[in-house]
Amino acid sequence: MGKNPFAKPASQPPFLHQMLGLTRYHRVERLAFLALIAPNFILFGVFTFWPLLYNLYLSFTKWNMIVPNPTWIGLDNYAAMIQDPIFWRVLWNTIYLATGSITIRLVMALALALVLNQKLAGRDVYRAIIFSPTFTTGAAIALVWAWIFHKDLGLLRLPLSWLGLPSPNWLADVNWTIPALIIVTIWRGLGYDMVIFLAGLQGIPAELYEAARVDGAGRWALFRHITLPLLSPITFFLIVTSIIGALQVFDIVAVMTQGGPMNSSKVYVYYVYENAFKFFKVGYAAALSMVLFLITLAITIFQTRLSRRWVHY
Amino acid sequence: MLASKSISHSQVVIQRLVSRVTSHAVLIFASIIIGLPFFWMISTSFKSDVEVGLFPPVWIPAELLWENYARVWTAAPFEMFYINSVITTLAGLILEVIIGAMSAYAFARIEFPHRDALFLVVLATMMIPGEMALVPNYLTLRNLGWINTYQGIVIPYVSSAFGCFLLRQAFLSIPQDLFDAARMDGAGHLRMLVGIALPMVRPVVATFALFLFIAKWNAYLWPLIVTNTWNMRTLPIGLMMVREAEGTLGWQHVMAASLLVLLPVLVVFFLAQRQIIEGIARGAVKG
């Protein structure tokens, strides 16, 4: 008897109990809160959290989306990944693209930000032009670059011909597809990195430089001992967001190379897409997505851990 | 003594001038390199078949062939693509602003037990990459019968963690007195949200809407998966059709099509570039 929750009002869940014990004003307040967050939370539940669980389940199954139900195969998809040479190739391509793009971009972006960080006529115009590729439509930009990379008629052949160099067959040569993608991602991401660096530079107190100058520090010493260390959290932020961005590259690859030739430009999300919607290997695609999620999570946790140590206020 | 001082002064002036000129040279060079692909696209889109096949390339076509645009417009159902893009972009944008603002207001202005923990749930969703949900969301929509529909393109992407975060910050900065006064007049939360909170943070809402417009206009992967007939395709995916017709269409047509797709985002960007760039800079330095 004593265990019957209906017999004792006191064993109602505390929240409901509180609700019932509240004044009318508070009840209305709480209902308003719930009503206002409901659309967002329902959508998060259906399209963000449920997929996470469902994806985890699918990653332990084999399914082509046509037969009614997935078949449970345990860890087979994960085992298959380890033995899948294309998976390793895709991972390597993604890392190659990310590091190639990020290192060059950060150096150039920092240099441009330093130049822009002074009173100059037309400063906003330069900033806007250099930033302008950031938010362009990937599919359209990919076509423009495919034309620039054209072996015989492309714009890029021109500077190469001035130097007497032959133009590589950018998008058809296994050694040149990732460099081509690196060029496109640098062009597209440089302005963003520059704007972030610029914001960081403007946040460095001028007194620091003045004090160092009084102590006789030269330009290089100022850069080396004040600018660089104080920009380190921002650099770190850019590296992390660029890696996560590189893991999610899809549209330019889908339009420019479709991952080819011979998987030379196949990047992570493209491989997930291919497995799910071209090969209909849903379980395998789900396992790939889970690994992508874990990599992203690891990077994010690493970032919050490290940035706590890096950021000085 | 005086002479040496004036020499060092003019040296400084020269040094400044040199540094200024170099700065401009570097920036002009960078701007040209960055701008060149846009110029190349526009220039090519007006060329004749013969001019497209020339190397070294022709910079400015002898005659501007506007018919390239007409040709591309009829070669693929561009009208349909435009309508689909406009509908899905605007519907998604409006819904996401509304949903984001509603939840942001609740988190900023209404007391609730464990409110901060709930807000952490919102932030946690930002750590889950959207690509993760491709297959499950496709299956959910299939069960709902939403494949190849506008709501299928729009609804899975209108929940808003970033918007909730951004607008909550903005709402928190509004003085409480304004709300208290409205409350005395008998206003409910919905009226305070629409009548006070949103108008007070209009610039933040505008910046947020700009970002959403660009992101939704450019969306590629999800609309590709969830649509399967050409009459439901949005512009970025419709471009594939032009690409596939490469045998009959030349590069001038492909570039004309690309410009048709890029134009709205480029126009929005250049009209609001200051707001967009400063929004980016502020967000990054804070976060």
Q: Using alpha carbons only, how large is chain B's radius of gyration in Å?
A: 26
Q: Is the pLDDT of residue B206 over 50?
A: yes
- Read off the pLDDT band of A204 (50, 70, 90): confident
For residues B113 and B118, what is the distance between their CA atoms, to the nearest angstrom? 9
Q: Is residue B283 part of a domain?
A: no
Q: What are the backbone angles phi and psi of residue A5, rounded to the nearest 5°? A: -65, -25
pLDDT mean over B149-170: 93
Greatest pairwise CA separation for chain B in angstroms: 89
| Contacting B residues, span 160-219, partner chain A, CB-CB under 8 Å | 160-161, 164, 188-189, 193, 214-215, 217-218
pLDDT mean over B164-187: 89
pLDDT of amino acid A210: 85
pLDDT of amino acid B287: 40
DSSP state of A72: E
Q: What is the pLDDT of residues B31-65, one digit of tens each?
A: 999 999 999 999 999 999 899 888 888 899 988 99
The dihedral built from the CA positions of residue B184, B187, B188 and B190, taken in this order, carries a sign that is negative
Closest CA to A260 of A137, A136, A90: A90
Mark whether B57 and B88 lie in a shared domain: no
Range of lowest pLDDT (A2-16, B2-16, B208-222) = A2-16
**C-alpha dist (Å) from residue B140 to A157, A282, B10, B81, B136:** 48, 14, 73, 25, 6
Q: Is residue B276 part of a domain?
A: no
- Read off the pLDDT band of B224 (50, 70, 90): very high
For residues A47 and A178, what is the distance between their CA atoms, to the nearest angstrom? 33
For residues B32 and B22, what is the distance between their CA atoms, to the nearest angstrom? 15
Whether the model pTM is above 0.95? no
For residues A125 and A257, what is the distance between their CA atoms, to the nearest angstrom? 34
CB neighbour burial string for B107-134, b if at least 16 within 10 angstroms, e if fewer: bbbbebeeeeebbeebeebeebbbbbbb
Give yes or no for B133 touching A (CB within 8 A): yes
Q: Count of alpha carbons within 13 Å of A34, Cβ hemisphere only?
A: 8
Which residue of A136, A241, A267 to mutate against B (max B Cβ within 10 Å)?
A: A136
Mark whether B149 and B193 lie in a shared domain: yes
For tokens 């930009």, name the residue. A141
Closest CA to B131 of A245, A39, A134: A245
Percent of chain B with pLDDT over 90: 61
- Read off the pLDDT band of A11 (50, 70, 90): very low
Q: Is residue B83 part of a domain?
A: yes
Q: Is residue B210 part of a domain?
A: yes
Q: What is the pLDDT of residues A136-149, one digit of tens each?
A: 999 999 999 999 99
**C-alpha dist (Å) from residue B95 to A32, A238, B85, B103, B196:** 19, 30, 15, 12, 20
pLDDT mean over A164-179: 91
Final residue in a domain of this structure, among B38, B66, B94: B66
- Token couple for B103: 């939840």
Nearest to B133 among A47, A161, A273 (CB): A47
Give yes or no for B245 touching A (CB within 8 A): no
The CATH number that applies at residue B129 is 1.10.3720.10
pLDDT mean over A288-310: 84
Rounded to the nearest angstrom, the minimum Cα separation between A21 and chain B is 14
pLDDT of amino acid A111: 95
For residues A28 and A14, what is the distance between their CA atoms, to the nearest angstrom? 18
pLDDT of amino acid A214: 86
Quickly count helices (H) and strands (E) in chain A. Answer: 15, 2
B34–A132 C-beta distance less than 8 A: yes
Q: Is the pLDDT of residue A24 over 90?
A: no
For residues B47 and B251, what is the distance between their CA atoms, to the nearest angstrom? 9
What total number of domains does chain B contain?
2
Mean pLDDT, chain B, whole residue set:
89
- Residue B281's Cβ-count burial label (10 Å; 0-12, 13-18, 19+) is buried
Mark whether B29 and B137 lie in a shared domain: no
Mark whether B18 and B91 lie in a shared domain: no
Q: Where are the beta strands (DSSP E) in chain A?
A: 61-62, 71-72
Chain A positions touching B237 (Cβ under 8 A) are: 139
Rounded to the nearest angstrom, the minimum Cα separation between A223 and chain B is 17
Q: Is residue B98 part of a domain?
A: yes
Q: Is the pLDDT of residue B97 over 60?
A: yes
Q: Is the pLDDT of residue A250 over 90?
A: yes
pLDDT of amino acid B246: 62
- Read off the pLDDT band of A42 (50, 70, 90): very high
Which residue of A137, A156, A251, A267 to mutate against B (max B Cβ within 10 Å)?
A: A137
Percent of chain A with pLDDT over 90: 60
Mark whether B230 and B117 lie in a shared domain: yes
CB of B160 closer than 8 Å to CB of B154: no
Give yes or no for B102 touching A (CB within 8 A): yes
The count of other CB atoms within 10 Å of the CB of residue A162 is 9
For residues A34 and A189, what is the distance between their CA atoms, to the nearest angstrom? 40
B217–A140 C-beta distance less than 8 A: no
- Residue A75's Cβ-count burial label (10 Å; 0-12, 13-18, 19+) is exposed
pLDDT of amino acid A33: 93
Q: Is residue B264 part of a domain?
A: no
B189–A36 C-beta distance less than 8 A: yes
Q: What is the pLDDT of residues B120-133, one digit of tens each?
A: 999 888 888 888 88
Mark whether B85 and B218 lie in a shared domain: yes
The residues with which A72 forms a beta bridge, in sequence order, are A61
Q: State which of A45-59, A294-308, B48-62, B63-77 shows the largest mean pLDDT.
A: A45-59
Q: Is the pLDDT of residue A44 over 90?
A: yes
Final residue in a domain of this structure, among B66, B91, B115: B66
Rounded to the nearest angstrom, the minimum Cα separation between B35 and chain A is 7
Mark whether B224 and B121 lie in a shared domain: yes
Mark whether B50 and B187 lie in a shared domain: no
- Token couple for A242: 């660029």
Q: Is the pLDDT of residue B83 over 80?
A: yes
DSSP string computed for A120-178: -TTHHHHHHHHHTTTTS-HHHHHHHHHHHT-TTT-TTHHHHHHTTPPPP-TTTSTTTHH
- Read off the pLDDT band of B1 (50, 70, 90): very low
DSSP state of A64: -
- Residue B33, domain extent: 2-66
* Phi-psi map region of B195: left, alpha, beta (phi>0 left; psi -120 to 50 alpha): alpha
Mean pLDDT, chain A, whole residue set:
88
Q: Is the pLDDT of residue A66 over 70?
A: yes
Q: What is the pLDDT of residues B250-276, one digit of tens each?
A: 899 999 999 999 999 999 999 988 888
B110–A36 C-beta distance less than 8 A: yes
Mark whether B105 and B7 lie in a shared domain: no
- Read off the pLDDT band of B146 (50, 70, 90): very high
Q: What CATH number is given for A84-280 in this structure?
A: 1.10.3720.10
Mark whether B46 and B91 lie in a shared domain: no
| Contacting B residues, span 136-165, partner chain A, CB-CB under 8 Å | 136-140, 155-161, 164
A147–B40 C-beta distance less than 8 A: yes
CB of B134 closer than 8 Å to CB of B172: no
Q: Is residue B253 part of a domain?
A: no
A148–B225 C-beta distance less than 8 A: no
Q: What is the pLDDT of residues B9-21, one digit of tens each?
A: 788 888 888 889 9
DSSP state of A261: S
For tokens 């509908």, name the residue. B87
pLDDT of amino acid A17: 56
Mark whether B142 and B195 lie in a shared domain: yes
Percent of chain B with pLDDT over 70: 95
For tokens 């949103």, name the residue. B198
Helix/strand/coil (H/E/C) assignment for every residue in chain B: CHHHHHHHHHHHHHHHHHHHHHHHHHHHHHHHHHHHHHHHHHHHHCCCHHHHCCCCCCCCCCCCCCHHHHHHHHHCCHHHHHHHHHHHHHHHHHHHHHHHHHHHHHHHHCCCCCHHHHHHHHHHHHHCCHHHHHHHHHHHHHHHCCCCCHHHHHHHHCCCHHHHHHHHHHHHCCCHHHHHHHHHCCCCHHHHHHHHHHHHCHHHHHHHHHHHHHHHHHCCHHHHHHCCCHHHCCHHHHHHHHHHCCCCCCHHHHHHHHHHHHHHHHHHHHHCHHHHHHHHHHHHHHC
Mark whether B113 and B184 lie in a shared domain: yes
Q: Is the pLDDT of residue A121 over 50?
A: yes
- Ordered by start, the domain boundaries in chain A are 1-34, 84-280
For residues B83 and A136, what is the distance between their CA atoms, to the nearest angstrom? 19
Q: Is the pLDDT of residue B148 over 50?
A: yes
pLDDT mean over B88-96: 96
For residues A258 and A251, what is the distance between their CA atoms, to the nearest angstrom? 9
Q: Is the pLDDT of residue A4 over 50?
A: no
For residues A52 and B129, what is the distance between their CA atoms, to the nearest angstrom? 10
pLDDT of amino acid A311: 53
